Structure 1
Amino acid sequence: MDSRVTDTLRQTRAGQIAEDILRKCVHCGFCTATCPTYQLLGDELDGPRGRIYLIKQLLEGKEVTARTQLHLDRCLTCRSCETTCPSGVQYAHLLDIGREVLAAQLPRPRAEALKRRLLREGLTRPRLFGTAIRLGRMLRPLLPSGLADKLPRPAPGDSRGKPAGGRHARRMLLLAGCVQPALAPNINAATMRVFDRLGIALFEEDKAGCCGGVRFHLDDQDGAKADMRRNIDAWWPHVEAGVEAIVVTASGCGVQVRDYGHVLADDTVYAEKAAKISALCRDPSEILCAERSALLSLLPEDQPARERLAFHAPCTLQHGLQIRGVIEDLLQAAGFALTPVADAHLCCGSAGTYSLLQPELSVQLRNRKLAALDAGGPALIATANIGCLTHLQAGSMLPVRHWIELMDEVMV
């Protein structure tokens, strides 16, 4: 695609990246076939090809309106289009640049800006968020149904807790996250127990916090970069001490941490460290796949018949981290019978704060996803991202669990 970004923008790294991405797009339209919002709305501007055209106009200095903002806001950033694109267009990076330029040119209405600010501040502070969740659960009967549905019920816990630290020479960092400790604290505890059996010590660094994804996608990329730098500073002494990896149990956060090197590439102080952090970032499935032989030795020799389950592969897992089939294989090795899931490449509608900012589209996507997950008659649903877990659980009578918790329960 021919593009002529403004002279001012062309002098920046972002402008150069955007122009390069735009030139790779050949307008073939393959991406529209796998775009969830295009499937729902049937509007060219609510598909990747149309949004790329809107971003092109924006970066070329054309007039932008609230309509441009609407179509870009409706994008889930699921990256399904990237998986489909034969030209290798890095749509998500282009969208990030477009949204940042748009936010600078077109301020949001006061009420909408306030909502995004409350989400940025509320979701990224674990203590504040945890207090709000506990209070909300107490007041659930008094809340409007729409709000109560978004408030997850307490996740099942495990009396075993976390394993004692310092027992193994092999050490890896574990990102605590900002909302997961309050919503599902057993996920990281289960991960620690699984890794402990494999002779790997996982530990959290208290000085680390939100991965930066919340602010990055809510019109505050500068604040997101500050979050990233704080995490790098918190993790760096452990990196220098030789930790093998930084394990992230929420695939959405994993995509963001793996992008640190790209986001901070022009930061003269942090660029090299950010690239190293990105290289160390691992989804737990990648570690377990590498330790497959040891893992299989810890599974019962005579596998009992286990529950039928449907696995929901989050977009951040399959399109962002590009991990496909690995977790399904691990679950089957553990004795679970996986049911088929139609259109598994499509988003469930969670997409970070999307379910709060675009509730109607989000619910439609969730209903479609749950219909596909339920079709095989599973007894439970497993997934790999806390956002997808809570979003799906709000609309399903079946239990929705993180897959690592299931692995923890079947290992001897």
Structure 2
Amino acid sequence: MQTFFTPEQLSDPGTAEANAILRSCVHCGFCTATCPTYQVLGDELDSPRGRIYLMKEMLESGRDPDPATVKHIDRCLSCLACMTTCPSGVHYRHLVDHARAYIEARYKRPWSDRMLRKVLAWVLPHPTRFRLALLAAKIGRPFAGLVPDERLRAMIRLAPRAIPPVSRAEDAQTHKAHAPRQMRVGLLTGCAQRALNPGINEAAVRLLQRAGVEVVIPRGQGCCGALVHHMGRETEARSMAAANVAAFAAEHEREPLDAIIVTASGCGTTVKDWGHLLAGTPDAAKAEAMANLARDVTEVLARLDLPELPDQGLRIAYHSACSLQHGQRVKAEPLALLKRAGFTVLQPRDAHLCCGSAGTYNIMQPRIADELGRRKAATLEATRPDAIVAGNIGCLMQIGGKTEVPVLHTAELLDWAYGGPRPATLGPNVPDRRDGPSFAPYAA
């Protein structure tokens, strides 16, 4: 794509990078075939190619964003399926991130939009505040139909009916290995997941301990920055990322970490990009080093040579979260682990398409998200599974609200298979494996 940025514009590193990305696009349109919003809306401007044209014109002209451009860019899920499809290697993610920061700085949204975004940025990255918000949503659920704003109704309906207790396992501490130590890893506990389902990290820790992994939860960590970064709030995202980099770097300097494990793939995509997010800052070198240590929990489990288990008698539909399959390109490991643990693994039609969660997307764009969630649940249910498994908390909440099939995290199911407690979502008819025969390989 031909561009016409001025030398003055190109002196800005973000604009210079955007220019390079734009120039790599050859207008082929392959991206439209895998774009979820284009599938739903059928509008070229709601495809990656259409949005690239809009972003080029907006950035090149140096003008303030207009409402139409903002609307179409806001509708982007950042699912990154276009990057998996693109034959030219267009780094759409960094382009749309730059465009969102540009919009945040130069576009005055309607008052209700500004307030909602401020509330989300103030609440979601902080587990205690989020838990209080979930309690308020639980109280307000019977009255959700009376709320005039569809986004507020979506917030209330997305909240779980039962709020899980606070987990002390996620406090700063070291969880010692229960077998000869093979690895020492740090665990990013996250933010929204701590409020919505702390059992995910608990399951990951138990499984890793039994496999001979020491799990360290560094003091001072918090939200990775993903939630606010996707809203264009770049300064806040960098501040959050820098705090985490400092926390993990300090632990790594005390005693080297073999990996930084992330159990929410939406966070993992951002953590692996900390080097880019903090480029040009005093934290750049440490950020790059910590980003290079980041691994999805399934990437580490795949290195541990877990024993092959007999058939569990359960059909598992695997939903590959966009942030895992497109953002991190982690595809084979979760499937191999589930099969090795004795499950019949099923993959739905259109597995590359997003479920509609995408951070705050199912709040900010509830109609599109609802349609995507309905479609995803239908394709998963069509495999006739006993349970649905995914590696991202947002996907679990989104899909769980569209189906009666039990929905749980990959780590929860693997922990149960290898001797852990039965996940509550599987129900009482599935046996509890604590002290069962599959626990034997990891006896302390």
Contact 2:176 2:215 in 1 (8 A): no
Q: CA deviation at 1:161?
A: 6.8
Q: CA deviation at 1:136?
A: 3.2
Residue equivalent to 1:71: 72
Q: Distance in 2 between matches of 1:275 and 1:58?
A: 30
Letter in 2 for 1:316: S
Is residue 2:21 matched to residue 1:7?
A: no
Taking only aligned residues, the RMSD between alpha carbons, in angstroms, comes to 2.1
The superposition leaves residues 116-135 of structure 1 with CA deviations (integer Å, 9 ceiling, x where unpaired) of 01000010111111222234
Contact 1:78 1:319 in 2 (8 A): yes
Structure 1 unmatched runs, 5+: none
* Greater Cα offset, 87-96 or 215-224: 215-224
Letter in 1 for 2:388: I
Compared CA separation, residues 44 and 160, structure 1 to 2 (3 A): closer
Q: Distance in 2 between matches of 1:334 and 1:19?
A: 47
Compared CA separation, residues 405 and 70, structure 1 to 2 (3 A): same
The superposition leaves residues 344-390 of structure 1 with CA deviations (integer Å, 9 ceiling, x where unpaired) of 00000000000000000000000111111011100110000001111
Is residue 2:393 matched to residue 1:392?
A: no
Compared CA separation, residues 153 and 325, structure 1 to 2 (3 A): farther
* Greater Cα offset, 146-155 or 3-12: 146-155
Residue equivalent to 2:158: 150
Output aligned runs, 1:11-22, within 5 Å. Answer: 11-22=11-22
Is residue 2:378 matched to residue 1:364?
A: no
- Equivalent residue in structure 1 for 2:341, among 334, 341, 345: 334
Residue equivalent to 1:42: 42
Output aligned runs, 1:179-198, within 5 Å. Answer: 179-198=192-211
Residue equivalent to 1:244: 258
Contact 1:5 1:56 in 2 (8 A): no
Compared CA separation, residues 319 and 59, structure 1 to 2 (3 A): same
The superposition leaves residues 48-102 of structure 1 with CA deviations (integer Å, 9 ceiling, x where unpaired) of 0010011110111164310000000000000000000000000010111112122
Residue equivalent to 1:53: 53
Q: Distance in 2 between matches of 1:395 and 1:148?
A: 15
Residue equivalent to 1:110: 111
Runs of 4+ in 1 over 6 A off after TM superposition: 159-164
Is residue 2:273 matched to residue 1:266?
A: no
Is residue 2:235 matched to residue 1:222?
A: yes
Letter in 1 for 2:321: P
Residue equivalent to 1:86: 87
Q: CA deviation at 1:277?
A: 0.9
Q: Give secondary structure in 2 for the equivalent of 1:266.
A: coil
Q: CA deviation at 1:147?
A: 4.6
Q: Distance in 1 between matches of 2:402 and 2:391?
A: 17
Q: CA deviation at 1:207?
A: 1.0
Output aligned runs, 1:271-310, within 5 Å. Answer: 271-292=284-305, 295-296=306-307, 300=309, 303-310=310-317
Letter in 1 for 2:187: L
Instruction: Calculate the TM-score normalised by the size of structure 1.
Output: 0.93
Q: Distance in 1 between matches of 2:52 and 2:397?
A: 31
Is residue 2:380 matched to residue 1:373?
A: yes
Compared CA separation, residues 283 and 155, structure 1 to 2 (3 A): farther
Compared CA separation, residues 395 and 242, structure 1 to 2 (3 A): same
Compared CA separation, residues 146 and 219, structure 1 to 2 (3 A): closer
Q: Distance in 2 between matches of 1:342 and 1:135?
A: 37
The superposition leaves residues 377-410 of structure 1 with CA deviations (integer Å, 9 ceiling, x where unpaired) of 0011000000111111111111110011000001
Output aligned runs, 1:347-362, within 5 Å. Answer: 347-362=354-369
Output aligned runs, 1:138-177, within 5 Å. Answer: 138-144=139-145, 146-154=154-162, 165-167=175-177, 170-177=183-190
How many correspondences in the alignment?
405
Instruction: Calculate the TM-score normalised by the size of structure 2.
Output: 0.87
Identity, in percent, stands at 41
Compared CA separation, residues 338 and 264, structure 1 to 2 (3 A): same
Is residue 2:128 matched to residue 1:127?
A: yes
Residue equivalent to 2:423: none
Q: CA deviation at 1:143?
A: 4.0
Compared CA separation, residues 312 and 136, structure 1 to 2 (3 A): same
Q: Distance in 2 between matches of 1:357 and 1:248?
A: 25
Q: Distance in 2 between matches of 1:306 and 1:82?
A: 37
- Equivalent residue in structure 1 for 2:415, among 397, 408, 412: 408
Contact 1:308 1:378 in 2 (8 A): yes
Letter in 2 for 1:9: Q
Letter in 1 for 2:158: K
Q: CA deviation at 1:280?
A: 0.6
Q: CA deviation at 1:6?
A: 3.8
Q: Distance in 2 between matches of 1:351 and 1:160?
A: 28
Q: Distance in 2 between matches of 1:71 and 1:2?
A: 22
Q: CA deviation at 1:226?
A: 0.5
